[in-house]
Structure 1
Amino acid sequence: MAKSKTAGKPASPAATSPDIDIGIAAGDRRKIAEGLSRFLADSYTLYLKTHNFHWNVTGPMFNTLHLMFEGQYTEEWTALDEVAERIRALGFNAPGSYAEFVKLSSIQEEPGATGVPGWQDMVRQLVAGNEAVCRTARKVLKTADNAGDDPTVDLLTQRLNIHEKNAWMLRSLLE
């Protein structure tokens, strides 16, 4: 086997994969992928928070919230894969570590040292988290729409519908 002239050096993306020509300019694909990475980070942080609250909710709303949170985090988990795969289809790596998600997310994690919030605070935080995901989605959706990226527009429209509904249902518990 012949030794490569670039042995020991990482290969450039252009050298290891064919050019991507899906009708979206490379710069637009990059902007969309960066926005989707922020959306993925927000979505993952919301997923973790929802799952945490499912495990730790107590009080008179226990059964209702335990089941509601489970339905929401299960749906959120499935959607994460779709978002990450869209980033890959655009030709970029999806973020996949806690460190990356913390840097990219607009949603604050629940500090572990302060204990578990009461059910009403859990609901308030999940309303705020779903609304944050919606704001991030809208920003990326505009970028994708301007670039003619219909699959990303469709994906984000579906996610907006779900997160707006989740925020409404959670918000209704506080009235």
Structure 2
Amino acid sequence: MSQTAVVAPRIDIGISDADRTAVAGGLSKLLADTYTLYQMTHNFHWNVTGPMFNTLHTMFMTQYTELWNSIDDVAERIRALGHFAPGTYRDFNQLSSIEEPVNVPEALDMVRLLVAGHEAVARTARETFAMADAANDQPTADLMTQRLDIHEKTAWMLRSILQ
């Protein structure tokens, strides 16, 4: 009995292999940033204290739920481009531009850290948008536009708390 190697079909969606690889790399960084921000936001939801507890607890839940729901869209776009999505804490730690706090911060410091986190994800999405646009990859560009809108708006709302 001979064994035949299974060969994956070539991906021919009008985007070069090199461009698909570059865009998938940007999306992988976005996935890592998003997952890291999700985890930090959920942690803050659990651990926030002080006079703004109810407001922040509820706000953080809305934010981590939105982040959680977006993770799958990003990972599935990486897969549609023919690459594997990163999925371990080690992967996310290596790829993410967001540093998590070592200790549980005070409530307003949580807000400041989340502002910085959303701004970091926006920067990563903007860089990935540029790659997608150059590659004529409209689905990724559209996804990046959606993510930019959400992260910039969320950062603005969080900054408003600090004023």
Distance in 2 of aligned mates of 1:3 and 1:29:
34
Distance in 1 of aligned mates of 2:140 and 2:157:
26
Match of 2:136 among 136, 141, 148: 148
Q: How many residues align?
A: 163
Aligned equivalent of 1:45: 36
Distance in 1 of aligned mates of 2:143 and 2:133:
12
* Gapped regions of structure 1 (runs ≥ 5): 6-10
Q: Match of 1:66, as an amino acid?
A: H
CA drift at 1:17: 1.2
Distance in 2 of aligned mates of 1:3 and 1:57:
61
Moved over 4 A (4+): none
1:18 aligns with 2:9: yes
Aligned equivalent of 1:102: 93
Aligned equivalent of 2:73: 82
* Gapped regions of structure 2 (runs ≥ 5): none
Identical positions, percent: 64
Aligned equivalent of 1:54: 45
Distance in 2 of aligned mates of 1:3 and 1:43:
45
CA drift at 1:25: 0.5
Match of 1:126 among 114, 119, 123: 114
Distance in 2 of aligned mates of 1:16 and 1:81:
27
Q: SS state of the match for residue 16, structure 1?
A: coil
1:166 aligns with 2:157: no
CA drift at 1:170: 0.4
Deviations 1:8-65 (A, max 9, x none): xxx7xxx531000000000000000001000100000000000000000000110000
Distance in 2 of aligned mates of 1:122 and 1:16:
49
CA drift at 1:3: 4.1
Aligned equivalent of 1:4: 3
Which moves more between the two structures, 119-128 or 15-24? 15-24
Distance in 2 of aligned mates of 1:107 and 1:75:
18
The RMSD of aligned alpha carbons is 1.1
CA drift at 1:79: 0.2
Aligned equivalent of 1:28: 19
